[in-house]
Amino acid sequence: MGAAASCAMLGACTSEKVTPAGQSETGTSTVETYGAAAFFETTSYGMASSAGFAFSPDDDAILVHSDETGIFNAYALPIDGSEPATLTASDTDSTFALSYFPGDERILVTHDTGGDELNHIYLVDEDGTSTDLTPGEEVKASFAGWSDDALSFYITTNERDARFFDLYEYDTESFQRELVFQNDEGYTIAAVSGDGTDVALVRERTSADSDVYLADLEAGGAPVHVTPHEGNIAYGVYDFTPDGSQLVFSTDEFGEFSQAWTYDIATGEKAELIAEDWDVMYVLYSPSGDYRVHAINEDARTTLKITETATGAPLTAIDLPAGDIGSVRFSRDESRIAFMLSSDTSPNNAMVADLETGEITQLTDALNPAIDEEDLVDAQIVRYESFDGLEIPGVLYVPHGAEENPAPALVWVHGGPGGQSRAGYSATIQHLVNHGYVVLAANNRGSSGYGKTFFHMDDRRHGDVDLQDIVYAEKWLAEQSYVDAEKIGIIGGSYGGYMVGAALAFEPDVYKVGINIFGVMNWVRTLESIPPWWESFREALFDEMGDPATDAERHRAISPLFHADNIRVPLLVVQGANDPRVLQVESDEIVEAVRANGVPVEYVVFEDEGHGFSKRENRIEASEAYVTFLDQYLKTPWSPEGSPDGEGEAAETSESEE
């Protein structure tokens, strides 16, 4: 895209001041302020895997996971709206639903231990008995779907070689298993055909160039390369068609965005299936293949389309409600679909739609009834100009009343580095906004969702051009009438946490405070200690970030830890002790280094979490820590000469280690 990015491609471009939506003309509306617990005592719901059976064998219930008790467990949610049945009751590790069995009430679920990301697959029998189907201390496993005859299912594990995932077929009754594909070349196992004859594989050479292969599980032999090409083209896999005759794959060969194409397994012919003006996020089919569902990532929101495959016409039997629709699952008889529906001011709710009558039933009420939804705010999609004229997209949240009383603000930086901040309900962001903070979730160059050119603009330039996009986010916020220009901070997790450290270390005069949530502070160590199961995309990661064997000097130059003496503003660091991606030592060291500067540093460590916080009590504590820290150091800016008002003793630092 470059500096002359196409507004037609990215949507309406603007670098002008944005007036907050939903404000009364007088700006005097009263909004109740809620604690973090109110936002996190909403109930989060998720649907069973798209590779499994979400509907029960009699189509009377759907399999979901929910954190109703404070930690995720599996439930059977009756479609008649009656009370859900508890299927798992873990009080230690979040457990996520995968699938009903084809002909009975047994289920498959998955969980790791304390956030270590070593997920195992468990059978939960009808009496509640749980059996680990993938035992082993260092084993990581994933569910890969069912056979069409319902006599077996597939699981991938890295038990043979920690770097690579092999494919096993499990018998539905005896649970005896057979190794059906030994993965010695570092492929990603993407899909298995329903008849069990083919497995689709992806090999990532770089972040811009990847390939799809097919392996015949019956004939054996080397996988067949189905996407030969020259230059950089990213290919991926959506799924096989229900009859197994075609593979549906993604490609960005024909433009900026990923399209869906088909590969005929018998003839090798390729054909365009879906081309949109945005990335096609996923493609799935009803069991018979009569319906096809696809979603597009339309300017940080999801747009869903359901097509009758025989005619190619859109399904008109139901009028899908407004909001982000995801996790579409068909009933066994294809008379209904279940899906998740969310909005900016409401978390995911489970819904069921009757495809014959068009009737839609909401099965859950996820938002805490103690919260008046009118007190929350809708997101706005905005764009601002960066240092080189490139338009940077972002998702903006403005507190009620801020136009009359300018508010402190935060730039929120997503993880990745190739992630994307998207519109939709965020308990953390709504909590911040409810407490009077403007939040701009910036999608700096390198973010996904805006075309391949934009996505690769930061390759091997991390901590450089992407950091300047975040610096210019602060400049844009400072120009807005509803922002107190002297009170702007930065917050981010994972790669976004790195950007917090980079902003404070390399642009020390821009932000007044920083909140680093398990961010990389030492790229040399992090890239040398990536988990072994990342082997299949190690080359792609190193292509984007640089190989530590040859780029260690640059990695050191962009690592905040080695420049921590520049950090002169208050810092909050939050970390999971079991994080396998960003080790706790990263946070330990930056805390020690910044404290040596005489700067207030607060540190929260969760002993039972990994890379991200799955337990409600921990999410509440973290969110309260953000607001408490900001209220103390941003609403009343801290002064290095002494207390927040510039007089008296230096503000104390505190440490909370859970």
- Rounded CA-CA distance 459/444 in Å is 12
Percent of the chain residues topping a pLDDT of 70 = 93
Bond preceding residue 417 cis, omega within 30 of 0? yes
Q: In which order are the strands placed within the sheet that holds 380-385?
A: 380-385, 391-397, 438-442, 407-413, 483-493, 514-517, 571-576, 601-606, 655-657
What CATH number labels 185-288? Answer: 2.120.10.30
**Which residues neighbour 388 within 8 Å (Cβ) at sequence distance 6 or greater?**
3, 465
Give, for 630, the enclosing helix (H) or strand (E).
Answer: helix 616-633
| Residue 418 near residue 446 (C-beta atoms within 8 A) | yes
SS3 586: helix
Residue written as token pair 């629709």: 325
Structure tokens given for 442: 């910036």
42-80 pLDDT, tens digit each: 888 999 999 999 999 999 999 999 998 989 999 999 999
- Are the C-beta atoms of residues 532 and 197 closer than 8 Å to each other? no
Cα–Cα distances (Å) from 310 to 50, 285, 288, 490, in that order, read 22, 12, 11, 51
Question: What's the pLDDT at 3?
Answer: 32
Enter the tokens of residue 627: 């607001």
| Residue 169 backbone dihedrals phi, psi, to 5 degrees | -105, 125
Which has more confidence, 508 or 114? 508
Which stretches of 303-396 are DSSP H helices?
A: none
Instruction: With cut-offs at 50, 70 and 90, classify the pLDDT of residue 550.
Output: confident
Q: Is the pLDDT of residue 658 over 50?
A: no
Length of the chain: 658
Confidence of residue 641 (pLDDT cuts 50, 70, 90): confident
Q: Is the pLDDT of residue 395 over 60?
A: yes
Burial 509-546 (b: 16+ CB within 10 A, else e): ebbbbbbbbbbbbbbbbbbeebeebebbbbbbbbbbbb
330/206: higher pLDDT: 330
Query: Cα–Cα distance between 502 and 467 in angstroms, integer?
Result: 7
Top-level CATH class of 387-644+651-657? alpha beta
Taking the C-alpha atoms of residue 521 and residue 287, their distance in angstroms, rounded to an integer, is: 47
Query: DSSP class of residue 564?
Result: G
Angle at 154 between CA 148 and CA 155, to 5 degrees: 165
Contact 73, 65 (CB under 8 A): yes
**Cβ atoms within 10 A of the Cβ of 161, count?**
15
281-295, 391-405, 469-483, 527-541: segment of lowest average pLDDT: 527-541
Half-sphere exposure of 529 (CA within 13 A, CB side): 14
Place of tokens 């505190």: 654
Q: Say what the pLDDT of residue 189 is.
A: 97
What is the C-alpha separation between 182 and 179, in angstroms, rounded?
7
5 burial (CB, 10 Å; 0-12 / 13-18 / 19+) is: buried
Q: Which residues contact 163 (CB under 8 A, 6 or more apart)?
A: 186, 532, 533, 535, 536
Per-residue pLDDT of 116-153, as tens digits, reads 889 999 999 999 999 999 999 999 999 999 999 999 99
Q: What is the CA radius of gyration of the chain?
A: 25
Cβ–Cβ contacts within 10 Å for residue 224, how many? 14
- pLDDT for res 647: 38
Which one is predicted more confidently, 641 or 483? 483
CATH 3.40.50.1820 spans which residues of the chain?
387-644+651-657
* Cα(298)–Cα(277) distance, integer angstroms: 8
Kindly give, in sequence order, each residue whose CB lies less than 8 Å from that of residue 29, ignoring residues fewer than 6 positions away.
23, 400, 401
pLDDT at 592: 97
Which class for 568: exposed (0-12), middle (13-18), buried (19 or more C-beta within 10 A)?
Answer: middle
Under a CB-based contact definition with an 8 Å cutoff, are residues 73 and 166 in contact? no
- pLDDT one-digit tens code per residue, 165-175: 999 999 999 99
What is the pLDDT, as a whole number, of residue 652?
37
Residue with tokens 């939050």, as numbered in its chain: 574
Is 344 a residue whose pLDDT tops 70?
yes
Give the whole-angstrom CA distance, residue 523 versus residue 586: 9
pLDDT in tens, 232-291: 999 999 999 999 999 999 999 999 999 999 999 999 999 999 999 999 999 999 999 999
Q: Where in the chain are all domains bearing CATH 2.120.10.30? A: 185-288
DSSP secondary structure of 138-164: T--EEEEEE-TTSSEEEEEEEEEETTE
Q: What are phi and psi of 606, to 5 degrees?
A: -100, 115
Three-state SS sequence of 399-447: CCCCCCCCEEEEEEECCCCCCCCCCCCCHHHHHHHHCCCEEEEECCCCC
Q: Are strands 601-606 and 571-576 parallel, antiparallel or unpaired?
A: parallel
Decide: 195 and 150 in contact? Cβ < 8 Å.
no
220 burial (CB, 10 Å; 0-12 / 13-18 / 19+) is exposed
Residue 19 in this model has a pLDDT that exceeds 60 = no
Task: Please say whether the beta carbons of 53 and 104 come within 8 A.
Answer: no
